[in-house]
Structure formats: structure tokens, C-alpha cells
Structure 1
Amino acid sequence: MSGEKIYEGVFAVHKPQGITSAEVIRNLQTHFNPSDTFKPWLETEQIRRKRESDRQRKRRRTQRLDVKIGHGGTLDPLATGVLVTGIGKGTKHLNDFLGCTKSYETVVLFGAETDTYDRLGKVVRRGPYEHITRDAVEKALEKFRGKIMQRPPIFSALKVKGKPLYEYAREGKVPPVEIKERPVEVKDLRIVEWYEPGTHEYQWPEEEAAGEEKAVAEKLLEKDDELPIATSAEGAEKSDVQDASATKRKTPPPQSPEATTAPKEEGTADVQGDSAPTAKKQKVSEGDSVPVQSEESSGAPQEAEKSTISEDKDAAPKAQPAAVKIVMTVTSGFYVRSLAHDLGKAVGSCALMSSLIRTRQAHFELDSDKVLEYKDLEAGEEVWGPKVQRFLDEWEKKREAEESSDPINASP
């Protein structure tokens, strides 16, 4: 063995957009395996394996000798930012990062929703958006702060009867059980930038769901429409204001001249059915002045909803929808895509997650001096080597300090 230092521990990589977290790990191995930095680790591992029993060797999934690398918390291909990575014995600490708080920056685009709740999916429904204002979104965000119940998206990695939810969606099948809400906590949630229509480049996906895939997505969304948004995890409602999300979204029926000229009460929206006696007022959040259809309506309005996407293709182009950039700090298990989806419901429309950046996980922050830039790998070991060595040295010192002060409860 070379006698040089064995580098192990935990550090963070700046994951780029367009690749999976698993691809990041494989690329790290491609560069780390032949490197001088991790040569001592590989030599030590080779010696250790020679001492293994036959039973231990057979249990090993592969006999190939690679630098042992893992990550602590998956980022979707759309997302960029902090990906916590473990090397060697550092992989044993990755579970510590699954339960820590994380900070994100996301852009929510209104007016459409997809089967994945983000811009990489297929459009399954569109909704009115001309009425959405910054004030309305600010008001809606109030109910998402604190300890709330959140429902994972259908394309999440959660499993139902041993099968990931996204496989049900891709196969056009409805999951055999209801997707349950889970308690999460939103410690910070703020708007940092508001994009008025026509002032940004965020766009809806061009591809639309069709056939059985669309039918299943619509069925799931109809069920979702009937459910409350972000109820308190402690069982108490944060607000007594009933917003447009409490009403099932339907395409409004054509209004009569009398209806269009009748005065409206401030802070209310007209909810009309197919017949005059069913007309009534419903209080909504500030800024939600668009008419919505009551669940009690039947016939023509429901058919109109089903054909919303195809009708929009032939309709005159509408103004570009508004978008909003939001920053947040949340606990483990929180889905930013679900927040975007639910925020659209809360303002009486649809919405999707257009971009996502993880800016922090535990003490790892998205700073060029604190994370390994992914592009550094292609620059060669003379660039990434000193950085990774410094990060792992810092991790080792941090762990030693924590264990000496509190050996039982040392945390990430």
C-alpha cells in the first residue's frame, strides 16, 4: 500500500440540470477510480476484500472494485443544487441527511398542470390565470407555513404495494390505494421575485397527455380537487377563509347578459350552475375574482372541462401567465412539486414547478467554495482533487469535534 492518506467522508456536489442523481454518482466514480486521490482507498479496500470469507464474497453484488460512493437525498433531473455525497465510510452517515432541513428556490408557473407537477411532464389540464396577482399568491402562501399535511405527487418515488407511484402513472393505471397525506413543516416560505405576464421566459410544456394516460391523470386530479389543501398537521385550520381551492374547478358556463352586468360583491366570485336557482356567491381569497363552477352543476359544464385542452389549441392566444420565484426551508419528506400544484389550486387555477434549486442541505450550502462544481470533473484531478481533499478534511475535523463534545448525539 502507498501509505498515503485515505480520503473518506461526506461532501457536496453542485448537481447540474438534466441528469439524475445516480448519473452524478456514476460520473464521480469514473473520475475517482483512476485518480491518485483515491488510490490509497482502493488499495485498502482490495486488501480488506482478500480477507473476506467465501460467504462474504458471494453476498457481494459485484466483484468490481470501485470507490464506494452514495448520495443523501435524491434530486430530480429538473433540479440543480446541493447533492450530499458520501465516500467510503462516509456513506454510513448519509442517512443522517435524509431527516435534516433543506432550503430550495423554485419558480412556479400558473395556468397549466402536468402529470408530473413540473415542466418535464405532459399537460393534463389548464385553468384560468388572468385573475392571479402577487397579493393573491402572498395570501395563499399563508396556509402553507408551519406544520401542515402534504400529499405526494403521483410521480413521486413512494411505493404502493411494492410498486413506485410513477410506474402506475406511466402505465395509465390508478394506484390501488389512496395516496395518503404526510406531515411536513415549512419553516420559511417567501416570494423573492414576481414575474408579471410578458416579462419572463418560463413556458408550459408543449406535449400533452392523451388516451388512457390522460384519462387516469384526470381521474386522479378530480379526486385531488375534492381534497383540502395544506391542512394543519395538528388538526386545526390556519385560516377561516375558504378559498377557491375548496370548490372543484370547472370551466364556467356561458354567462347571460344579466349575469355579466350584475354588480359583484368585493371579495366574492360568481358560482353559477346550469339553472338560475343554483346561482350563489362564494367567498374567495383576495384577488380570486374569476368565476368558478359549483360541484352541483352537471352536463355541459363538465363536458367543457374535459375538452379544455383541445379547445385552447384553436382559441386566440392569451397573455402569458404570471410566474413567481419562491424560497423556502422545509423538513424531510417535503415535495416542492406538490407545493406548486397546491398553490395553483389555492388561487383558483393550475400551476407547475418550472425550475428548482436546492440551495442548502444541513450545513452544506450552494457556494462555489463549499461544493464541488460538476464541471470541475472534466477539468481533471488537478482541479477537483485539491477541492475534494479539502472538503473531506473539513468533514473529518467536524466529526471529530462533534464526537469529542457529544459522542452520542453527533449530527450532520
Structure 2
Amino acid sequence: MPKVSLTKFPVSALFGVVKPSGPTSMSVVNDVQLLVARSKLFAEADKLAKIKDKKIDRRRGKHGRESVKIGQGGTLDPLADGVLVIGVGKGTKKLNDFLNCTKEYETTCLLGCETDTYDSEGVRVRLAPWQHVSREKVEAALPQFQGEITQIPPIFSALKMDGKPLYEYARKGIPLPRPIEPRSVTVHSLEIVKWLGEDHSFSWPEKQMSPEEKEALETALKGAQEDATIKDDPEAPTDDVKPTAFVLRMKVSGGTYVRSIVHDLAHTLGSAGHVTTLKRSRQGRFVLKAEEAGDSECIPWDTFEKALVDVGEKDEEGWTEWERQVMQNLEVV
């Protein structure tokens, strides 16, 4: 796609943002929209005139958002950071292209504890031993998770069954009407890039499932699998022992659940595990650091965070610092 022409604007475009860990993807998009709506790069002159003296207020709800059309091409969980593709104007029509494209991730797996969401944002579901797991055993298990594989999405997800989100079955103790449908995905590459062992600062989530919550989850699962049980392994160590962690890097097709790969891998190793960090380093041609021809480098979140507090002075051509950075990494639609 062509780079932006400074003689013709406003434009419709795509660009990448480095989402930080913590906020939701939608809150990031909403914050970027506040800047986009005040830029001649993206907004029509009449719209700029209407909000000329309006201050940026990040606390406003959706009804207070600006009128410039904006969206994102693939949600990242609040825990996750990395590439988030933003579309503005007609660029929003191109965002579906990024849902099924190839993506690259780095994720940290913490052994010994399974959570309801398969990541550290969730609640403890089950503990299991991990001391028997070595780097060699992990590497030996990885090939069965490469190529074309099938995954069963987590029950604590927003996927719907008979019009009801899966997590609603789990939380309310409603039996699943049938097993969760597996999905076919492709894992192009999967490797362990760092063995942390006990040299890390991660710990299991403090919050645990109550007996009533475990019973509700079991009831939901037994609707599709009669022998489903949610019990700690009697040989599982206590919190006093620091669990093992390691980092995986993978290149996957759209629709792949990284959390499920970590969860299923831990089961294969005779343990339990969950995701504690997740970074998306590539989504299609958008990357954290452009190293190949055709790559589009993402803009650090600090650029937008700074502008939201103080947009700064304009240069001799009338552009602010954040606008300049966007223009350097912009794809006009």
C-alpha cells in the first residue's frame, strides 16, 4: 500500500500500535480515536472545527466518542501486549484481512497450576506436580503441537453454544448440551526460546475457586463428558515451592488459541500450566520491529500516551510529533 501523501488528506489508512499489557484493546482504540479525530491527517475540516476547543477526556463513555470511524484487526487480551492493527475510515474495511493472517507470539508458561481462563488473569482450578518436567521433555513434546492440529477452545471464553457464551455455562453450572467443537488451526513453528526454571518473579494466582464454583464448572463439563472432574493432584506441591517457567515462540494461523497450546502442552507433560505473559510480535505484515521488505513497523504506545496528556507543538508544516510518527508508518487505503 502507498505511503501517505502530505498533499492529499484527510486519508483512510492502516497502522500498527504496540498495545501495552493491562488495558483492553478497545480502550486503546478509543484513546487513539481521541487523537485521530483532532488531526487533519484523518478528519475533515468541518469536523475539526466542531471539536476545536474540546479538551481530550479519556473518561468519556462510548456516547462521548468522536465521529471518525476507527477499529482494530484482532483483539488482544488485557494481559497481552504487542501488535494491534488499527484501521481509520475506509481502512476499517480491511481489518478482516488480519483476523485469519499468520501471527507470531512469545508466551511464558508457568507450570503447576491450571486456571479457568488458561492465563494468570484467571482463578486457580487445579494444581499438579511439575518437578519431573525438564527442558528436554518440553522439546520432545512440542512436535505434536505443530502443523495442522485441532484445538478445543477454553470453556471460559466468549464463544457461543446455542446462543449462550461458554463462560455462562461454566459460571452458572449449566450442563453443556454437547462437547465444545474442536477447531482446526495451523502451527507453522513452535520452539522453546528460554528455560527460566525457578529464575523468575511469577507466581500462581491467589484467587481460588470455591467448592461451589468448582461444582458448577464440573456440572457444565459433565454435560458433554460424564467423567469430568476438577481436583488437585494429591502429589501437587504447595505454594511454598517455586514452580518452573519457560518461554515459547510460535508462528500460527488465525484463530489459534495460544492459551490452549500452553494448557494442552502442560497436560501432555503430566502437569498443569497457564500463560503469564503473551506478546504478539507479528500480525500479517505489521511487526514490532521491521526487518524485512514489506514489513510495517508498529508505533510505540508511549507516543500516543504522551500526546493524550499534551499533544505538543506543531512543526513548520503543521504536524505534531505523534502525527509524524504515524505518517512514517502509515498505509493509505
Change beyond 3 A, Cα 1:307–1:79: closer
Shift, 1:120, TM fit? 0.7
Whether 2:116 is the aligned partner of 1:178: answer: no
Is the contact between residue 128 and residue 232 of structure 2 (CA under 8 Å) also seen in structure 1?
Answer: no
Is the contact between residue 15 and residue 86 of structure 2 (CA under 8 Å) also seen in structure 1?
Answer: yes
In structure 1, how many angstroms separate the alpha carbons of the residues matched to 2:164 and 2:123? 22
| SS of match in other structure, 1:7 | coil
1:123-142 to structure 2, matched below 5 A, reads 123-142=124-143
Is the contact between residue 115 and residue 217 of structure 1 (CA under 8 Å) also seen in structure 2?
Answer: no
CA deviations 1:245-272 (Å, max 9, x no partner) are xxx99xxxxxxxxxxxxxxxxxxxxxxx
Match of residue 385, structure 1, among 305, 323, 329: 323
Change beyond 3 A, Cα 1:41–1:375: farther
Shift, 1:218, TM fit? 4.2
Is the contact between residue 42 and residue 65 of structure 1 (CA under 8 Å) also seen in structure 2?
Answer: no
TM-score (norm 2): 0.81
Match of residue 363, structure 1, among 285, 288, 300: 285
Shift, 1:42, TM fit? 6.4
In structure 2, how many angstroms separate the alpha carbons of the residues matched to 1:222 and 1:125? 17
In structure 1, how many angstroms separate the alpha carbons of the residues matched to 2:46 and 2:109? 45
Whether 2:253 is the aligned partner of 1:331: answer: yes
Letter in 2 for 1:145: Q
1:143-292 to structure 2, matched below 5 A, reads 143-197=144-198, 199-218=199-218
Tell me the number of residue pairs that the alignment of Structure 1 and Structure 2 aligns: 299
Change beyond 3 A, Cα 1:41–1:349: farther
Higher-strand-fraction structure:
2
In structure 2, how many angstroms separate the alpha carbons of the residues matched to 1:18 and 1:66? 26
Shift, 1:217, TM fit? 3.0
1:37-52 to structure 2, matched below 5 A, reads 37-40=41-44, 43=47
- The residue number in structure 2 matching 1:122 is 123
Is the contact between residue 178 and residue 223 of structure 2 (CA under 8 Å) also seen in structure 1?
Answer: no
Change beyond 3 A, Cα 1:350–1:73: same
Shift, 1:37, TM fit? 3.1
CA deviations 1:158-200 (Å, max 9, x no partner) are 1112222223334343433321111100001000001123x11
Return 5+ residue gaps in structure 2 as ranges.
1-6, 51-61, 291-295, 312-319
Is the contact between residue 177 and residue 223 of structure 2 (CA under 8 Å) also seen in structure 1?
Answer: no
- The residue number in structure 2 matching 1:34 is 38
Is the contact between residue 176 and residue 221 of structure 2 (CA under 8 Å) also seen in structure 1?
Answer: no
| SS of match in other structure, 2:208 | coil
| SS of match in other structure, 1:200 | coil
Change beyond 3 A, Cα 1:128–1:69: same
Is the contact between residue 263 and residue 274 of structure 2 (CA under 8 Å) also seen in structure 1?
Answer: yes
TM-score (norm 1): 0.66
Counting aligned pairs with the same residue, the percent is 43
Shift, 1:222, TM fit? 7.7
Change beyond 3 A, Cα 1:105–1:12: same
Shift, 1:6, TM fit? 1.0
Higher-helix-fraction structure:
1
Is the contact between residue 37 and residue 68 of structure 2 (CA under 8 Å) also seen in structure 1?
Answer: yes
CA RMSD, aligned part only? 3.0
- The residue number in structure 2 matching 1:252 is none
In structure 1, how many angstroms separate the alpha carbons of the residues matched to 2:194 and 2:15? 31
CA deviations 1:210-260 (Å, max 9, x no partner) are 14322233456789999xxxxxxxxxxxxxxxxxxxxx99xxxxxxxxxxx
Is the contact between residue 124 and residue 217 of structure 1 (CA under 8 Å) also seen in structure 2?
Answer: no
Is the contact between residue 172 and residue 216 of structure 2 (CA under 8 Å) also seen in structure 1?
Answer: no
Choose 1 or 2 for highest CA Rg. 1
